[in-house]
Structures are given as C-alpha cells and as structure tokens.
Structure 1
C-alpha cells in the first residue's frame, strides 16, 4: 500500500465520525446528502493526497477543509443549475442531460483542485502560530470566544489575528494567480 493511501486511510478513520456529524449538519440532517458530501470528500482528498503528499502537514484538518469546499461547491452547483434550467427542454432527453452534467462536473473538479492547491500552498507558507489559528478557526470552526480561551488571549485579539490571517491568505492566493 502506498504511503499516501495509508496516510489518507488513517486520517479518514480518525476523523470519520466527526466528519459525518459535520456533513449531516451541513446537509440539514438529510442522510443521503450527507453521504454524498462524505463520498465526494473522500475522493477529492485522496486524489490530492496522492498528488501532493509532501504538502500534507495536517491530514485530519485537511479532510475538514475538503468537506467544507465540497459543500460550498454543491451549493454553487445548485445555484448554477437553477440558473440554467430551461422549462422548455424535455427532461426525458437523457443525452442532453447527461452531456451537460458531465461537462459541469469536470469543470467543478478542475476548479476545486485549483482552489485546494492554492489554499494548501498559502497555508504552508504561514508561521506555526498562524497555522494553529487557521486550524482552530477554519478547520475546527471554533467560535472566537473558544479560540480566545484556548490561546489565553482576548477575543478582540483573536478577531484581529483572524482578520490579518484572512488578508495574508488572500494576498498570497492573488500573488500565486
């Protein structure tokens, strides 16, 4: 077994219960939607880990980031589909439907891969303290008061540091583009 696959399996097994809880919450309690989110997360995370194993500093946290991106992509896809639905098109025309969904999923896949690579590169350039803050706020999705308590600093300072972290990540992503 490849070391990248082993890394993925170990991280998946450690985080699966919490990932599933979060996926159900994101899917408003719909088990089938949560399962779709979990499946897409597993596939995308494994593909990325195989391509860039040296970029993985926190595989567990990375799975939560991928889940969030998969969820956001599903929301974007729903919006795009609503925007392009034409009531005059015969829904039974499988060829039209199939070719449209294949092209859309390929575009989404490319877009997601580019976004993930950009995020990983930007996070890799952060200091240890900044990566810790990134993990607490964006991976674990902890509230500002909880982060302040954990870091033993004021909530206002946490908010400011997160604001600075966001701007630093944005500028690094723009520099990379």
Structure 2
C-alpha cells in the first residue's frame, strides 16, 4: 500500500465520525446528501493526497477543509441549477416534448463546438504554468486555498492569477474569432 493511501486511510478513520456529524449538519439532516458529501470529500482528499503528499501537514484538518469546500461547491451548483431549470415547466407537456426545445439544435451544437474548439486552441497557446493553473482551477475544480497551497503563494495572489488567466483566455478567444 502506498504511503499516501495509508496516510489518507488513517486520517479518514480518525475523523470519520466527526466528519459524518458535520456532513449531516451541513446537509440539514438528510442522510443521502450527507453521504454524497462524504464520498465526494473522500475522493477529492485522496486524489490530492496522492498528488501532493508533501503538502500534507495536517491530514485530519485537511479532510474538514475538503468537506467544507465540497459542501460549498454543492450549494453553488444547486444555485446555478435553480437559475437555469424552470421547475414550473411540465416536462410531460406534449408541446414542449414535440418541439424539441430541450435538445440543442444543429446550429446550437455547431456554435457550442466552435466555442469549445476556440477555448482548446487558446489553452494550447498558454505557457506551461498557465496551463497548470487552468487545470487546477477549471479541470480539477480546486478551491483557491488549495491552489495557493500548491503554488506556494497567497490565496489573494492565486485569485489574481486565475482572474488574469480568464482575461487572457477571453482575449485569445476574441483574437481567434
């Protein structure tokens, strides 16, 4: 067994009862939501510990930080979904179903594909450090404190670098169009 895995298992076993209590409190007593928070926490924490074991000074405390970030991510995701999904719409309504308004049109798919191609092209032109930052923030969806810790910079500087990266990507996408 790898040392990183052993470190995770030991920290998980020590903190699991308290993590579960906190997850249930964050999930307002819903056991299924708390289980979702716990499993997402375990996966993200294990992945990080495997990737950066040298950064682990307090694995037990790290698990609580990851749980908090997983919870905040779920709240943000639910908020975005509520803003996009019209819960008052009748999904069984024949008109909605027949019109195909829930599916993307060929034109919309083409536009989406072109946008994705332009983003991929812009990312390819970034420096190695910028691609690494892009991966941490937008692919792995790491929080700013975790990014700052990995880059060994302040959280404010990590936020600024991501802000500049977004601006650079927007500029390069506009250049390509």
| Count of aligned positions | 121
Contact 2:20 2:34 in 1 (8 A): yes
Aligned partners of 2:2 and 2:146: how far apart in 1? 21
Task: Between the two structures, name the one with larger relative contact order (CA 8 Å, sep ≥ 6).
Answer: 1
Runs of 4 or more, structure 1, over 2 Å off, are 86-93, 108-117, 119-122, 169-177
Aligned partners of 1:58 and 1:68: how far apart in 2? 16
- TM-score, with normalisation over the residues of structure 1? 0.58
Q: Which residue of 2 aligns with 1:67?
A: 67
Q: Would the alpha carbon gap of residues 116 and 52 (structure 1) be closer, same or farther in structure 2, given more than 3 Å must change?
A: farther
Q: How does 1:30-41 map to 2 (within 5 A)?
A: 30-41=30-41
Gaps of 5+ in 2: 104-136, 163-177
- Which structure: larger Rg? 2
| CA-based RMSD | 3.0
Residue 32 (structure 1) shift: 1.0
- TM-score, with normalisation over the residues of structure 2? 0.58
Gaps of 5+ in 1: 97-107, 126-168
